[in-house]
Amino acid sequence: MDFKELLAYQKSFELAMQIFDLSKTFPKEEKYSLTDQIRRSSRSVSANIAESYRKRRYVNHFISKLTDSDAENSETNVWLEFSLRCDYINQKTFNELNVKTREIGKLINYMIKNPEKFGCSI
Domain boundaries, the chain: 3-20+31-118
pLDDT score for 64: 97
Furthest CA-CA distance within the chain? 49
pLDDT tens-place values along the chain, 122 residues long: 799 999 999 999 999 999 999 999 999 999 989 999 999 999 999 999 999 999 999 999 999 999 999 999 999 999 999 999 999 999 999 999 999 999 999 999 999 999 999 988 76
- Tally of helices (H runs) and strands (E runs) in the chain: 4, 0
Give the residue among 33, 113, 36, 18 at the shortest CA–CA distance from 70.
113
CATH of domain 3-20+31-118: 1.20.1440.60
pLDDT score for 83: 98
Q: Which residues contact 39 (CB under 8 A, 6 or more apart)?
A: 16, 19, 20, 23
